[in-house]
Structure 1
Amino acid sequence: MNRKSLAAALVLIASAGSVLADDITIDNTPFTSAKSRAEVQAELQQFRSAGVNPWAQDFNPLQSFTGSKTRAQVTAEYIQSREAVAATTGEDSGAAWLAQRAPAAPAPVLAGQPVNAQ
């Protein structure tokens, strides 16, 4: 019995290995470019002259970003909004928290003609 089981297992393993083999898939679909080679080269030259290459490994669009708030201001805003975020993302989606809050002043309703009126 063990010999038959071992033989069956070896046959399964051998057949499973051949199932994974496959040929290379060659895509014969013709490629049509939207730009000429000269246009692409000119675009690349513009990026190089500007010192920016969005396809480069070290491209960092936020390199020149400077924040307008201090770390203390951001921390204070986070602490202030922490309870509201926890309440609105809770089990009842903030229904109990919103019910306890004082209603906000209603937004003014202005009457008039829309810009694109017919």
Structure 2
Amino acid sequence: MHQRTTSTLSFVGSVAAAAIAATFMIGNAHAEGPIQDIRPIAGTLSRSAVKAEVLAHRGELTSFGAEWIQQQPAMMQARSAITREQVRDAFIASRDEVRGLTAEDSGSAYLARTGMRSERTMMAGAR
């Protein structure tokens, strides 16, 4: 009986706290800055002059637009001793193993049927 009363009182207290918090949150939203201080801006160049300037410096603008790429270290080319076809052929050859290990039972039935994994499995960074 005591636990039920305590539970009821804590629930009522939570609802009351939420209702009081909601009443304090009701109000108008205001912008962070002084909106009245915005003055109209008049440009000194015509639209055609701006377009001509953009077209004259198009190469620079395109490269500046890709600033993130410019800040990255030089891309390293991936080098491999085997070709794409060899990798595809190896996958096709081990398709049953892949299908068995990615089955709904996480490969337990496949491993029970075939024994332990083959030794051709290589961990990342191992040679």
Query: TM-score, normalising length from structure 2?
Result: 0.34
